[in-house]
A and B are shown apart, each in its own frame.
Chain A
Amino acid sequence: MSNPERTYVDPSINMETEAYWEGTAQGKLLLKRCCSCGETHFYPRAICPHCLSSDTEWFEASGKGKIYSYSIMRRAKIPYVMAYVTLDEGITMMTNIVESDFDDVAVDKAVEVTFRKTESDHSLPVFRLS
């Protein structure tokens, strides 16, 4: 049984990150990779945090990964699952786990991306058990 979901506040979108949010609006999870050192990073930046090169490029992630850690926020009016998910591409990102019974959520379980609308109709990547 899935749980009722809270309202998602809007992300802040700027010139560094607008492509990411244009991607989510199309149901794509985009990541940034450095063309100089080859490392993928998150959250996406114009400047690679691993080598400070400005030669970075967007690419579409598989949307698949595993739960790195999580915490069920029981004291919220509408409880929710806070999580870090490690994507197959090797980076770990903050997210929520949705559509899943709280008792089924566990570290290392496989998840896949899905999307939720925020207050102003942006698309926010979240994950569900796969």
Chain B
Amino acid sequence: MGRSSKAYIAGAFEHPTRKAVDKTIAQLHAEVALGALQDAGLTKDDVDGYFCDGDVPGLGGLSMAEYMGLNLKYIDSTETGGSSYVLHVGHAVDAIAAGKCSVALITLAGRPKAEGVVSLAARDGDGGKLPERGFEIPYAPVITNMYGMAAMRHMYEYGTTSEQLAWIKVAASHHAQHNERAVLRDVVTVEDVVNSPMISDPLHRLDCCVISDGGGALIIVSPEVAKTLGDRCVKVLGSGTSIGHLNGGKFDLTYTGAAVSGPIAFEEAGLKPADIDYASIYDSFTITVLETIEDLGFCAKGDGGKFVSDGNLISGVGKLPFNTDGGGLCNNHPSNRGGMTKVVEAVRQLRGEAHPAVQVPDCTLALAHGTGGQISARHGSATVILGRNDA
């Protein structure tokens, strides 16, 4: 009954680890795959489609398919950074709708905490082949100062304040206190955030996400398979993708690719922002959330600061409960890629399986958004709109 859906999310799993000193990356992929399959009530042999990012060990998904013993009819290793897994949900739905596969596995795994590799500069391995390298790397761009420039411009154009950005961390911390696996479980105040050490103006330490190991996995299935699995399956109602970039030196740092991917997803779902009961918003930094909320249409461009203030993102308090697992800001940002956990928590909400203290009552429609790369340069943007089984 209800809205039509070309495919369903049948399994969702977040690896419990936050520091994986005793596991390989391949092992973590297999562990999250098994977790999601068990959650769905399926086995490895049911999988006929595999989706992963370009950061997995090996050439695309080839080595991981062999490691996990997958027999595949469909494979997709589209790489758009931390947004990849949200994008993969849309791609999996399309592949299933086209009859190319019927049970799709999406995995993410990594161990930056254990390996101590966290900086953007560590990825500078492309040498002369990367076309923009000579015009960027000598200036020492790193993730924090790149996001700092987006925040600084937003403040200049719209009067956004550090206190307003801080509310985003405050909301995440209110949720994380209930998540026993969250890296940061202490509830923080606006004062705590703005008084934490300045990392790269105007972003403070507590404006940043955590660094953690682990990963997650999703199982996307056809409507026919979903019928056999029961009402924990979640509908995928719409998906959208975009790439933001510097456009030959003519760009606006107060917008992200969500301004394109969001409307595509809403149109396919036949919904509008006001219909959404719960939102998972990519939160590498507080500014990422603020700009994305504006771009998705939850408020007008420039009004994000007012919108996120005074607890408006806190479940049970505000109008748009977000990232009720604590998000990347407090809970988990596995492999420096937060898109997977965004979808996982949205699925928990729609199943009524979020922590009771943060569960949105009668949660029927949810959104998950991923951002990959850097919003102040090249970035992937992916939005999915999900519905409870009876939505």
Binding site for B on A (CB under 8 A): 6, 8-14, 16-17, 21, 39-43, 45, 48-50, 68-76, 80, 82-84, 90-96, 107-108, 118, 124, 126
Contact = CB atoms under 8 A, between A and B. Distances in A.
Contacts, number: 124
Contacts of A96: 139-140
19 contacts: A12-B127, A12-B133, A17-B134, A42-B248, A43-B135, A48-B248, A49-B247, A69-B376, A70-B152, A73-B144, A73-B148, A75-B144, A80-B140, A82-B140, A82-B145, A91-B249, A94-B139, A107-B153, A118-B138
Interface stretch (B198-206, B326-334, B338-346): B198-206
Given A92-B246, A94-B135, 15 more contacts: A9-B140, A10-B138, A11-B134, A12-B134, A21-B134, A45-B131, A69-B149, A71-B201, A71-B203, A75-B197, A92-B249, A92-B250, A107-B156, A118-B138, A124-B139
Contact of A84 (B149, B151, B248): B149
B45 interface: no
Nearest to B140: A80
Contact of B136 (A83, A90, A94, A108): A94
B253 interface: yes
Nearest to A9: B138
A95 B130 CA distance: 18
A96 to B, nearest CB: 5
**Nearest 4 Cβ contacts at the A-B interface:** A71-B148, A91-B249, A42-B249, A11-B134
Contacts of B253: 68-69, 84
Interface of B: 127-128, 130-142, 144-146, 148-153, 156, 197-203, 246-251, 253, 376
Contacts of A21: 134
Contacts of A45: 131
Contacts of B142: 73
Interface of A is mostly: loop
A70 B203 CA distance: 12
A93 to B, nearest CB: 6
Nearest to B136: A94
Contacts of B203: 71
Contacts of B250: 41, 90-92
B61 to A, nearest CB: 30
A7 to B, nearest CB: 10
Given A69-B152, A71-B201, A92 B135 contact: no
A43 B326 CA distance: 39
Nearest to A93: B249
A126 B144 CA distance: 20
Contact of A74 (B132, B141, B146, B199): B199
Contact of A12 (B128, B140, B201, B246): B128
Contact of A70 (B149, B197, B198): B149
Given A42-B248, A68-B153, A73-B144, A13 B139 contact: no
Given A71-B145, A71-B149, A71-B152, A124 B248 contact: no
Given A13-B128, A71-B200, A71-B201, A124 B138 contact: yes
Nearest to B151: A71
Given A12-B128, A71-B152, A107-B156, A92 B200 contact: no
A107 B148 CA distance: 13
A82 B128 CA distance: 22
Given A71-B145, A75-B144, A80-B140, A93 B135 contact: yes
B153 A69 contact: yes
A75 B200 contact: yes
Given A17-B134, A69-B150, A82 B200 contact: yes
A25 B146 CA distance: 27
A55 to B, nearest CB: 15
Contacts of B150: 69
A14 B131 CA distance: 9
Nearest to B204: A74
Nearest to B152: A69
Contacts of B134: 11-14, 17, 21, 43
A75 B199 CA distance: 5
A33 B236 CA distance: 45
Given A13-B128, A49-B247, A73-B200, A108 B156 contact: yes
Contacts of A49: 247-248
Given A11-B138, A43-B131, A82-B145, A74 B153 contact: no
